[in-house]
Amino acid sequence: MDAITLYRHPLSGNSHRVEALLSFLGLETHLVDVDLMAGEQRQPEFLALNPNGQVPVLVDGDVVLTESNAILVYLATKYDVNRNWLPTQPEAAAKVQQYLSLTANEIQNGPAAARLVTLFGAGLDHQAVINAAHKTLGFINAQLRHHDWLAGQEPTLADIAVYAYVAHAPEGNVSLDAYPKILAWLTRFESLKGFVPMQSSAVGLAA
């Protein structure tokens, strides 16, 4: 089998979630860093892969996929034969989708957006996105009172998709101190076999 190729940026949480699943599944992967600061995502070669000009992009043989959550569903459906990461039982499957939706709106416009301000100087209202982040973190913390993992008793794509922007929220001046259930969940997630961390911004900005 040809190695899968993942086009990514090392500080991108959307890329990290795909990288994390590839690692959990033990799939050999060729990582290609796209220099977003230099605008490589707007060059014709990259736009041929993703006309939307964003990472991540996954290439698996003839299949070229964009949108991180769609890529997670593809990989879990194709390669996770036991469907541990994407359960088929209706309620559990819906719970996973609930968190994939949460990442695409509330998490993207909360902790991820706060980090865009501090790391990349995005012209957003920093306090407004910090407030939005805390609303979502409060919700997640409350959900974790009932079970160890976001979608139930076992880790799923929900945990993979939510992890990076929550773990790295402090880089956007969003403290996690008020969320003990989240802090315990982060430790549990980081203890899973095959876990790969996302690069911290301190390393990225110094590079």
Ligand X SMILES: N[C@@H](CCC(=O)N[C@@H](CS)C(=O)NCC(=O)O)C(=O)O
Contact, 103 vs 162, CB < 8 A?
yes
Bridge partners, 5 (sequence order): 30, 59
36 is a site residue for ligand X (CB under 6 A): yes
Using rule CB under 6 A, residue 41 touches ligand X: yes
- Residue 119 phi/psi, 5° resolution? -90, -35
Helix (H, G, I), strand (E, B) or coil at 168: coil
> Which residue, 114 or 141, is less far from ligand X as judged by CB?
114
Which residue is listed with tokens 């892969």?
A: 49
- Neighbouring C-alpha atoms within 13 Å toward the C-beta of 18: 32
When asked if residue 58 is in the footprint of ligand X (CB under 6 A), the reply is no
Q: Is residue 12 involved in binding ligand X (CB under 6 A)?
A: yes
Cα dihedral sign for 24, 166, 52, 76? positive
Nearest residue (CB) to ligand X, 112 versus 130:
112
The residue range among 66-74, 92-100, 172-180, 188-196 that interacts with ligand X, by the rule CB under 6 A, is 66-74
Stretch that binds ligand X, among 7-15, 120-128, 151-159, 168-176 (CB under 6 A): 7-15
* Contacting residues toward ligand X, per CB under 6 A: 9, 12, 14, 36, 41, 53-56, 67-69
